[in-house]
Amino acid sequence: MPEAQFVPKSDTKALRNGSFSWQSPSNIALVKYWGKYGEQLPKNASISFTLSSSCTTTTLSFSEKNTEDFEFEVYLDGKRERTFEPKIIKFFERVEVYLPFLKEYHFKIETSNSFPHSSGIASSASGMSALALCLMSLERELSNFEMAEAFFYKKASFLARLGSGSACRSMEGELVVWGEHSKIKGSSNLFGIKYPYEVHDRFKNFQDTILLVDKGEKQVSSTVGHNLMQDHPFAEQRFQQANDNLSRLIPVLENGNLPEFIKIVEQEALSLHAMMLTSQPNFILMKPNTLEIINRIWNFRKETKSNVCFTLDAGANVHVLYPEHEKEEILGFIKQELVPFCKQGEFILDQVGFGAKPL
């Protein structure tokens, strides 16, 4: 069912051709989204840190055409990338009702990532977010009505969600919530919102060092993964746990209680993987080196009382999270003790960021 607020008024200006560019970051969930229903709607609320250096830059060029179908070409780092096309056709079909001009133009989508394509870092969140923002810039340009900034981002997030769920959390910084939650005012299943409450300074420049343990193709696509939650024996408990963890995080984000933050974030990471371990079919997405890194983080924390912790996506790579004021000591530990467990010693230094930028 189309969401009426996002269907534009039909009256538009004429525009023959042009282009828009956006740079959009990736994000890392603290409370994880895993399980969906309907058209990309989450079974539980999630919250993420927006990242800073891991991002996608996209230029959308458009020119008027007279044919009936969607017409576009996608280029990754200057090379035609046909493997992205089915996902974009599906996305265009889903959002056409909200962007009725899609069939009026031929599009050239030129995209590049700040991280290597084969790094195992999902580009779907930053990529879909950048594309949705380019499309919103076009809609705004075509519109005869003034578009409020807040609506621009809200609809961009709504569209990005229809491309890849977690992409809706990549528009703004520094913390974004997606999914209705009784304790978070304005939260919605339809789009992400900037976390609306007080955040301790400590979390505003939190560090994320991404350890590339396995750089190959994803073993399980997120579509397959989310679907495995449908008949999962622990599904309801998991959705409840995620919503409860988000409730627990609200005071922690305000008062900067790092030990409590660590408990919640690590439980979320391991619960996400526990769902895959216990689904049918089962998946083990962690590698021996993932476990080695986790154990070393735990030992280091025990020995030094440091506030370093980890989180995981649906893969083997490890996001090492820590406060900026402990950076020197923790980075030394990471380089000496954890990097040897990365594929070809590769890692990405990132930190909390402020959201997408028009170029």
Q: Toward ligand PMV, which CB reaches closer, 21 or 278?
A: 278
SS3 assignment for 206-235: CEEEEECCCCCCCCCCHHHHHHHCCCCCCH
| Residue 29 in contact with ligand PMV, rule: CB under 6 A | yes
Q: Return the structure tokens found at 78.
A: 């200057």
Q: Return the structure tokens found at 38.
A: 């309907």
**Which of the stretches 102-110, 161-169, 193-201, 302-310 binds ligand PMV when contact is defined by CB under 6 A?**
161-169
**Which of the stretches 26-34, 243-251, 289-297, 338-346 binds ligand PMV when contact is defined by CB under 6 A?**
26-34
* H-helix segments, 186-287: 222-228, 235-255, 258-277
SS3 assignment for 30-81: EECCCCEECCCEECCCEEEEEEEEEEEEEEEEEEECCCCCCEEEEEECCEEC
**Which of the stretches 11-19, 160-168, 253-261, 320-328 binds ligand PMV when contact is defined by CB under 6 A?**
160-168
Least distance to ligand PMV from the beta carbon of 296, Å? 23
| Residue 163 in contact with ligand PMV, rule: CB under 6 A | no
Helix, coil or strand: residue 175: strand
**Which of the stretches 3-11, 29-37, 54-62, 145-153 binds ligand PMV when contact is defined by CB under 6 A?**
29-37
272-301 residues near ligand PMV, rule: CB under 6 A: 272
| Residue 164 in contact with ligand PMV, rule: CB under 6 A | yes
**Which of the stretches 31-39, 61-69, 80-88, 293-301 binds ligand PMV when contact is defined by CB under 6 A?**
31-39
| Residue 222 in contact with ligand PMV, rule: CB under 6 A | yes
Q: Which of 25, 120, 165, 355 binds ligand PMV (CB under 6 A)?
A: 165
Give the phi and the psi of residue 35 in degrees, each rounded to 5: 125, 125
CA-to-CA dists, residue 158 to 101, 285, 341, angstroms: 17, 29, 38
Q: In what order do the strands lie in the sheet containing 207-211?
A: 309-312, 318-322, 207-211, 347-351
Other beta carbons within 10 angstroms of residue 94's beta carbon come to 15
Show the site string, 107-126: x = touches ligand PMV by CB under 6 A, - = not: -----------------x--
Contacts of 309 (CB under 8 A, 6+ apart): 261, 262, 265, 266, 297, 301, 320, 321, 322
Other beta carbons within 10 angstroms of residue 236's beta carbon come to 11
Least distance to ligand PMV from the beta carbon of 166, Å? 3
Q: Return the structure tokens found at 60.
A: 């959308």
| Residue 253 in contact with ligand PMV, rule: CB under 6 A | no
Beta pairing partners, 209: 320, 349
Give the phi and the psi of residue 32 in degrees, each rounded to 5: -90, 145
181-210 residues near ligand PMV, rule: CB under 6 A: none
Least distance to ligand PMV from the beta carbon of 128, Å? 8
| Residue 245 in contact with ligand PMV, rule: CB under 6 A | no
Least distance to ligand PMV from the beta carbon of 288, Å? 21
Instruction: Tell me, by CB under 6 A, how many residues bind ligand PMV.
Output: 13
| Residue 26 in contact with ligand PMV, rule: CB under 6 A | no
Q: Which of 46, 57, 113, 279 binds ligand PMV (CB under 6 A)?
A: 46
Residue pair 317/212 in contact (Cβ under 8 Å)? The answer is: yes
Q: Toward ligand PMV, which CB reaches closer, 76 or 314?
A: 314
Q: Which of 52, 166, 187, 317 binds ligand PMV (CB under 6 A)?
A: 166
314-343 residues near ligand PMV, rule: CB under 6 A: 314
Pairwise CA distance, residues 338 & 175, whole Å: 27
Q: Toward ligand PMV, which CB reaches closer, 142 or 224?
A: 224
**Which of the stretches 28-36, 135-143, 298-306, 319-327 binds ligand PMV when contact is defined by CB under 6 A?**
28-36
Length of the chain: 359
- The site for ligand PMV (CB under 6 A) is made up of 29, 32-34, 46, 124, 164-166, 222, 272, 313-314
